[in-house]
Amino acid sequence: MKIESITITDIAKALNFSSSTVSRALRDSYQISEETKRIVKEYAHKNNYHPNLVAQSLKSNKSKSIGLLLCSVPNNFFAEVVSGIESIAYNRGYHIIITQSHESQEREESNLEHLSWRSVDGLIVSLASETKDMSTLQHIHEQGVPIVFFDRVSDCFNTHQVVADNIGGAYNLTKHLIESGCRNIAQVTSSQSLSITRERKEGYLKALAEYDIPVNEDYIKYCEHGGMMIEEIESAVQELLDMANPPDALFTASDRITIGSFALLHQKNIPIPDKIAIAGFCNFSSPELFNPSLTTIRQPAFEMGKTAAELLIKLIESKKPETNFEKRILPTELFVRKSSVKVAAVV
């Protein structure tokens, strides 16, 4: 059953106050006494008063909503990011409208159209694997909609970016695998178009160079949809296993690819880490429950979400156009567990 809500006018009549007094009391204005505020707020709460958000948005030209574009909600990393964003947005009076691209540029653009129709005050964006044409986002940005990129970012226009230290994390992970006795280290990673792929490859190559290990491009496999389909992970891993000189370690570069690759090795009864060590970027909540426990690079997903929300709201509420943008790079953490430790000695 629908419960009818009351208006400011109804409260004013019931309490014998003016509508302006009630409005100011509900907004906690300094012009209204604490006792009057208490009376008004108690009556409003008991009688199901809710502010008219549509009227407020028309008056202020603000919807108090933020659009969030990401590839997939059922993903540990992105779930933590959403929690971080909401922890800031809720306290600042903003609502989040979440959309998923499922790694499709077409779906991403459809979501953008929907969010534009909803007149969101700003956008927080992590790009889909398929996205190569940035014209739609550029047009929205040129229309004055603030945008903040996180994780999967683009330099197509100037704005804030929030990322993990992908280069440093990949370097530390690869170095750990080398110091565990691995020399033929393969990388199973995401689409070549993504910033995270380029940065994680850079860190991987940096560690190989430091230890004078030749780069074998055949050891680098790309999952063009970020491992969204298990078939692309299975194809990449199987190609590596079928090589004349198969790898002795897998560096997996995302949550889905890490968990998918680990599961496939188990299905094929390949001993981990004795035959193939495995370690990767993964924000799975309990990697120690894997058998063997899984070595991971953990990204500060919650902090990334908080930072992106703070930067976007600052853009939305700024009285003048922002011209100074920054790229916030947040540190990653390496957690060494049994899946990657082949030998005790350090090289």
CATH of the domain at 308: 3.40.50.2300
Q: Are 105 and 128 in contact (CB under 8 A)?
A: yes
Nearest to 219 by CA among 258, 256, 250: 250
- Amino acid residing at 300: P
The answer to whether residues 291 and 194 belong to one domain is yes
List, in sequence order, every residue forming a beta bridge with 150; answer none if it has no partner: 162
Domain count, the chain: 3
Q: Give the chain's radius of gyration (CA, Å).
A: 25
Measured distance CA(329)–CA(305) in Å, rounded: 13
Q: What is the pLDDT of residue 6?
A: 81
56 falls within a domain: no
196 falls within a domain: yes
320 falls within a domain: yes
345 falls within a domain: no
Measured distance CA(14)–CA(51) in Å, rounded: 17
57 falls within a domain: no
The answer to whether residues 37 and 24 belong to one domain is yes
Residue 10 parent element (H or E) = helix 8-15
**Could you tell me the CA-to-CA distances from 67 to 62, 107, 119, 196, 315 in Å, in that order?**
13, 15, 9, 22, 14
The answer to whether residues 248 and 295 belong to one domain is yes
Reported pTM:
0.81
Q: What is the pLDDT of residue 5?
A: 66
Per-residue burial over 318-344, b = 16 or more CB atoms within 10 Å of its CB, e = otherwise: eeeeeeeeeebeeebebeebebbbbee
The answer to whether residues 272 and 127 belong to one domain is no
The answer to whether residues 182 and 152 belong to one domain is no
Q: Are strands 65-70 and 185-189 parallel, antiparallel or unpaired?
A: unpaired
The answer to whether residues 104 and 195 belong to one domain is no
DSSP 8-state symbol, 32: S
Measured distance CA(269)–CA(185) in Å, rounded: 20
Q: Are 294 and 287 in contact (CB under 8 A)?
A: yes
The answer to whether residues 74 and 134 belong to one domain is yes
The answer to whether residues 133 and 213 belong to one domain is no
Q: Are 96 and 82 in contact (CB under 8 A)?
A: yes
The answer to whether residues 198 and 241 belong to one domain is yes
Domain that residue 219 falls in: 166-299+333-340
Instruction: Give me the tens of pLDDT residue by residue for the chain, a chain 347 residues long.
Output: 344 568 888 899 999 999 889 888 887 788 889 999 999 989 988 887 766 544 544 444 567 899 999 988 777 899 999 999 999 999 999 999 999 999 999 999 999 888 887 789 999 999 999 999 999 899 889 888 999 999 999 999 999 999 999 999 999 999 999 999 999 999 999 999 999 999 999 999 999 999 999 999 999 999 998 888 899 999 999 999 999 999 999 999 999 999 999 999 999 999 999 999 999 999 988 888 899 999 999 999 999 999 999 999 999 998 888 889 999 999 999 999 999 997 554 44
The answer to whether residues 190 and 276 belong to one domain is yes
